[in-house]
Chains A and B, each alone.
Chain A
Amino acid sequence: MDQNHMKKQINSARNSLFQQGYLDEQFIQLEDLQDDANPNFVEEIVTLFYSDSTRLIRNIETALDNYPLDFCKLDDYMHQFKGSSSSIGAKKVKDECSQFQECCKARNTEGCIGIFRQVKHEHATLKRKLETYFQVSPSNSLENRHTLQRNTQLCAAD
């Protein structure tokens, strides 16, 4: 029961990430890549993303400190950051990035600064959530995931 309960929780945690729009189906693609040879693939990728994105965020912050803003450069940086975020399925982050790019296009300084704060916020929030998720979820191999799903169904049937 505990097992099931635990699994159920993990699963619902995972589901909520999707439902709340933090993650999109690209994340599922990553999960699908995970296999016995790479049982922690998703976690590895997310870790890699977060370490790399720190650098990108710093670039943007620096650029945002220089007035007048160089919107082209900002757009460029954001383009990279967005690409990265979208590749792990970070939906909210990606959406904020798009908004940021809109502001760049519109040459909206205030907008850029404001949106960027949101970008960072979403970025940090997702990180927390994923960290929690990885901590509780077992090595997310395919087998485990299937078990998870099966259990979810079972639990749902309860």
Chain B
Amino acid sequence: MNLGGGQVVNKQSVMPSSSGASWKSTAAGGSGGGGGGDGGVPDQFPAGLRVLVVDDDPTCLMILEKMLRNCNYEVTKCNRAEVALSFLRENKNGFDVVISDVHMPDMDGFKLLEHIGIEMDLPTILLDCRVRKAYFLMIEFTVMSADDSKSVVMKGVTHGACDYLIKPVRIEALRNIWQHVVRKRKHEWKDFEPSASADEQKPPEEPDYSSSANEGHNWKNTKRRKDEDDEGEDRDDSSSLKKPRVVWSVELHQQFVAAVNQLGIDKAVPKKILELMNVPGLTRENVASHLQKYRLYLRRLSGSQHPGGMNASFMGGPDAGYGSISSLNGLDLQALAASGQLGQLPPQSLATLQAAALGRSTNSKSPISAPVIDQRNIFSFENPKSRYTEVQSQHLTNSSSSKQMNLLPGIPTNMEPKQFVSLQHQSGQHSFGSINNQVLIQMGGQSQSQSHSHSHSHSQGQSNTNPHHGLRPPVLSSEMLTRGGVVDMATTVYNPVVSQASSLVDFSMNHKNDSSGSSYPLGGSLGIPNLASATPTPLQGDGNLDTKVPRRGIVSSYDIFNDINPSGIREWGLQDVGMTFDSAQHTMQGGSGPVLLQHNRSSEREMGGQNRNSTSGKAIFSPGVETGSHRNVGQQRNSYVAENSLRVKAEDGSSHNNTLYPEQYGDDLLAAILKQ
């Protein structure tokens, strides 16, 4: 993967110039057409990219349309979110990427984002005209150094957007949106990994994948379809002997985790799990093998403090991407590695945040400690391609080895202990399986300075994989779903303009107060304050971690996001609290844009709530977060100080555990967190 990643990165950088020729040529699978085989557009990435633009402002809409047309994209515009959704529904594979304004009268952008994430899982880019109101995604993770002298807490929440642009939008920002598509697809491709037969298949796949971005692209299509097909197949073949390979998608995994948690990890037997999951077509054998892997994964998490491998992975290229944390219910480990950024910063600055819901892990220890990524690291976008590749390889390696989530592979974690703060998600009811690794990066440092309208310092967030996989009523209540192995983070190639770091990291916070899994409230925004104050410096991970995360082995997030952005993470510029995932190769030129992570759903809430649990230092995040009474958080809009600070958009789902969609943006939560 490394190679692949690197290659991809390279390719991406040259992609635009090749005008899609390379895409076509490398289309190994010959996927029918770019973007879903609609046949309409051949694999001429990026030309012909099918974009759906949603904005209620007719002026902006027209401007965007023209800009996108000038980028040779195929544009469909609409001014209402409902209309957009119906377009998307009618034509499932008809679009490659969606760009939506945040502020719309009938439905706000975040909600739309969620819908899209759940239903279609398309990369979505949000637009807003002010940073202040932008819902940054913050990724918070705690890095525990050996002596605990530094810890940075970064909170990240992913909401699902893969990027966040600030109006007025410049055409340069739009030119690179295709990268989000690629990234996302690559990430989805990685979803194969956790599946039962993934291991066997991986090797052959990897080379293909790595061969070109296009391949990845194809893969994505293939994979996606496969995902869909597999599920269907499974259903059909449940009775037959033939068992098509089951793809353990994020959603499925979350269900699995939920079932396991319900039964208790020790008592979880495949048969019962199967019953609880109630997924047609899933066989006991599938569950059994997945359970076995899961157990290994848990063991790894709890057992090894910091597996060298993990570290290595984190260390990944300099651009350690920002890994999203995937939280497994119960034992979710999520590691966020600010890969790209990290690379730049001294090793120790890199911290991988892993949110692991160790609640139910066999060791009744407190929550996983997640490495905290030095904020500084996060934001320094550098994106050495190597990072990216490394990340990729890491990711793959990791995944293959076990269910280990690749915590941000690219993140060089110098932290000795490599503690990962795992966000514990325990929510019996929610099975968050994954965190959306979508980090939204705020573009255009509007926050930074009005003048730099164009220097989009974007942290590259990775695009997200659809965080909403886990959105299932019982489970998702605002949990952050991380796509298993979200690679997006890592693969975000950003063009300077577009910040990719939109990795949404959804921390699924388990409501369960599992003692062990104290969720980390996003409060611990230690770094945040720093960030906020800092000007485009990467987040400084001063150890303000309030909570010390117990060192519990290294938490490897399940397929973490790969937010690691090997290629040049965008610098966030302070403001970005967010993790820069996968900085695109093009480093950001301007100040780094804040990374937006939208935390969607009540995960924030939970995070806040989790604070409660965080007593024994489990909480990863500083208690500050918790205060975010979610509601309050949501209410305060401007509590965030630094414009560029990342805000976590906390969906206020606190009251509704099962709220799928956040009700409010948790600006405040984020702010609160940051204040921590």
Contacts and interface: CB of A to CB of B under 8 A. Distances in A.
B299 interface: no
Interface string A9-47: 000000000000000111001101101001001001100
A53 B130 CA distance: 18
Interface in B59-103: 59-60, 62-63, 66-67, 70, 101, 103
Contacts of B168: 26, 29, 83, 86-87, 89
Contact of A83 (B129, B170, B454): B129
A34 B142 CA distance: 49
Interface in A39-67: 41, 44-45, 48-49, 52-53
Interface in B122-139: 129-130, 133
A33 B63 contact: yes
Interface in A62-101: 76, 79-80, 82-84, 86-89
A25 B451 CA distance: 9
A79 B63 contact: no
Contacts of B59: 45, 48-49, 52-53, 84, 87-88
B129 A41 contact: no
Interface string B158-183: 00000000011111000000000000
Contacts of A29: 67, 168, 170-171
A52 B103 contact: no
Contacts of A44: 62
Contact of B58 (A26, A48, A82): A48
Given A52-B59, A84-B57, A33 B171 contact: yes
A87 B169 contact: yes
Interface string B453-465: 1100000000000
Nearest to B169: A87
A32 B171 contact: yes
Nearest to B57: A84
A105 interface: yes
B10 interface: no
A79 B62 contact: no
B638 interface: yes
A82 B638 contact: no
A121 B454 CA distance: 28
A87 B70 CA distance: 17
Which range holds the interface residue count of chain B? Answer: 20 to 34
B74 to A, nearest CB: 15
A74 to B, nearest CB: 14
Interface in B453-487: 453-454
A56 to B, nearest CB: 9
Which range holds the interface residue count of chain A? Answer: 20 to 34
Nearest to A53: B59
A33 B70 contact: yes
B108 to A, nearest CB: 11
A83 B60 contact: yes
A26 B59 CA distance: 13
B61 to A, nearest CB: 9
A24 B168 CA distance: 11
Contact of A84 (B60, B133, B454): B60
Q: Which of B63, B70, B453 has the most CB of A within 10 A?
A: B63
B445 to A, nearest CB: 14
B60 A25 contact: no
Contacts of A41: 66
Contacts of A45: 59, 62-63
Contacts of A52: 57-59
A51 to B, nearest CB: 9
Interface string B634-661: 0000100000000000000000000000
A87 B67 CA distance: 12
Contacts of A26: 168, 170, 453
A77 B236 CA distance: 53
Nearest to B130: A79
Contact of B133 (A30, A33, A79): A79
B63 A30 contact: yes
Given A33-B70, A79-B103, A48 B453 contact: no
A7 B191 CA distance: 60
Contacts of B129: 79, 82-83, 86
B167 A38 contact: no
A48 B230 CA distance: 49
Contacts of B56: 80
B167 A86 contact: yes
Nearest to A28: B170
A82 B130 contact: yes
A80 B103 contact: yes
Contacts of B454: 25
Q: Which of B59, B70, B101, B103 has the most CB of A within 10 A?
A: B59
A152 B56 CA distance: 39
Nearest to B638: A105
B40 to A, nearest CB: 21
B453 A25 contact: yes
A87 B167 contact: yes
A48 B62 CA distance: 9
Nearest to A101: B130
Given A32-B171, A87-B169, A88-B63, 14 more contacts: A45-B59, A45-B62, A48-B58, A80-B56, A83-B57, A83-B101, A83-B103, A83-B167, A83-B168, A84-B57, A84-B60, A87-B57, A87-B60, A87-B168
10 contacts: A29-B168, A32-B171, A33-B67, A35-B70, A82-B130, A83-B168, A86-B129, A87-B59, A87-B167, A87-B168
Closest 10 CB pairs of A and B: A83-B129, A49-B59, A26-B168, A87-B168, A86-B168, A87-B60, A33-B66, A84-B59, A84-B57, A83-B167
